[in-house]
Amino acid sequence: MRDSGYTIQDMAERCGMTAHTLRYYERVGLIQPVSRARNGHRRYSEADEAWLHFLHCMRATNMPIRAMQRYAELRELGDSTSLERRKILEDHRAAIASQIKDLEQAHAMLTHKIANYKKIEQRTRIGGPLAEEAVNCRLATAG
Amino acid sequence: MRDSGYTIQDMAERCGMTAHTLRYYERVGLIQPVSRARNGHRRYSEADEAWLHFLHCMRATNMPIRAMQRYAELRELGDSTSLERRKILEDHRAAIASQIKDLEQAHAMLTHKIANYKKIEQRTRIGGPLAEEAVNCRLATAG
DNA sequence: CCTTGACTTTGAGCACGCTCGAAGTTGTAC
DNA sequence: GTACAACTTCGAGCGTGCTCAAAGTCAAGG
């Protein structure tokens, strides 16, 4: 049974999701009902793939399903919803920027803390005094 | 009733969590049993605050509770666990780096897509032809 | 013919991380 | 003395986002 298009498994692999997730996304309206082969099996198009990649990318950056549903809904409604859709994207971009900021801070903090651990391990190896508290309790402001 | 130290509410505010969450963290072993005032109310120390800030920071960057529990456990076990603790931090730092990468990619993609929306809105306003597909279906590689 | 395997639907279940409700105790203010 | 607010414990409940189980259909291969 061919009927042109990707099977659900193919698409799952291509998009880094499971077949379960693809059906779920369809169920909750993130993707319009997918076309079917004669035997009733789903057949995904290239356009579906692009859209699913987009969804995957938004999810991977913590956009809530709710927001994605709203976006999908507006998309179905056509051109007149362009402004609202853009706003959703802009909001999410802002959310991403904020996440990046938090992550970068944490990254720097961990780098400090890890350096501290290394120092301590060094000292421990040569039998020096321990200063674990500096690592554990001061959020790595310690030198 | 004083008995020196922060109340659970104070600490919740200082750490950007709720009192509920503080009790929960204690329950699941993320923080050692907190000292009590004579009336049985919790009193948090400065050391508790630093540790809670650290926990908050790790959670905010998506470290699973499980990993935090492991780290806390090792910390209780003392100096000999230094290497394993460092490994946990290094793993999490790597996870953070990977998250940042994804977020930056998504950010760039959204910037493209948003620019596209603006273009389309411009054209629509002056009565030009619509090209929404470029925005919706090509993950913003479209010009 | 019969097995195998990929699909289908529906609804239930799960992991995570809180979040809340109920019932009780204290300490302070009026 | 009595109202009120802030805490206590315990266990249950919840929102999110999947994830899976059951029962069935279909097509191809041996």
SS3 for A37-52 is CCCCCECECHHHHHHH
Cβ burial of B110 (10 Å; 0-12, 13-18, 19+) is buried
Which one is predicted more confidently, B126 or A101?
A: A101
Asked if A89's CB is within 8 angstroms of B50's CB, the reply is no
Q: What is the distance between the alpha carbons of residues B90 and A107, in angstroms, rounded to a whole number? A: 10
Q: pLDDT tens digit string along A42-55? A: 999 999 999 999 99
* CA B3 and chain centroid, separation: 32
Q: Any atom of strand D under 7 A from CB of B8?
A: yes
Asked if the model's pLDDT at residue A40 lies above 80, the reply is yes
Predicted confidence band of residue A4 (pLDDT cuts 50, 70, 90): confident
Q: What is the pLDDT of residue A143?
A: 28
Q: Any atom of strand C under 7 A from CB of A124?
A: no
Give the DSSP per-residue string, A5-70: SB-HHHHHHHHT--HHHHHHHHHTTSS----B-TTS-B-B-HHHHHHHHHHHHHHHTT--HHHHHH
Q: What is the distance between the alpha carbons of residues A95 and B103, in angstroms, rounded to a whole number? A: 10
- For C28, which residue's CA is nearest its C1'? B1
Tell me how close the Cα of A12 comes to any Cα of chain B, in angstroms.
17
Q: Which amino acid belongs to residue B123? A: R
Tell me how close the Cα of A46 comes to any Cα of chain B, in angstroms.
9
Asked if B51's CB is within 8 angstroms of A136's CB, the reply is yes
Q: Any atom of strand D under 7 A from CB of A38?
A: yes
- Give the nearest nucleotide to A59, CA to C1': D17
Residue from A48, A99, A101, A122 whose CB has the most chain B CBs within 10 Å, to mutate:
A99
Q: Is B6 helix (H, G, I), strand (E, B) or coil?
A: strand
Q: Which of residues 38-67 of A touch B (CB under 8 A)?
A: 47, 50-51, 53-54, 57-58, 60-61
Q: What is the distance between the alpha carbons of residues A106 and B61, in angstroms, rounded to a whole number? A: 7
- Among B50, B96, B124, whose Cβ lies nearest the Cβ of A139? B50
pLDDT digit string (tens) for chain B, length 143 residues: 678 899 999 999 999 999 999 999 999 999 999 999 999 999 999 999 999 999 999 999 999 999 999 999 999 999 999 999 999 999 999 999 999 999 999 999 999 999 999 998 888 777 665 555 544 545 543 22
What percent of chain A shows pLDDT beyond 70? 87
Asked if the model's pLDDT at residue A96 lies above 90, the reply is yes
Tell me how close the Cα of A34 comes to any Cα of chain B, in angstroms.
15
Nucleotides of D under 7 A from a protein CB: 6-10, 16-20, 26-28
Q: What are phi and psi of A42, to 5 degrees?
A: -70, 145
Q: What is the distance between the alpha carbons of residues A11 and A53, in angstroms, rounded to a whole number? A: 10
What residues in A contact B60, CB-CB < 8 Å? 102, 106
Q: pLDDT tens digit string along A117-133? A: 999 888 877 766 555 55
Q: Which amino acid belongs to residue A122? A: Q
Q: What is the pLDDT of residue A125?
A: 76
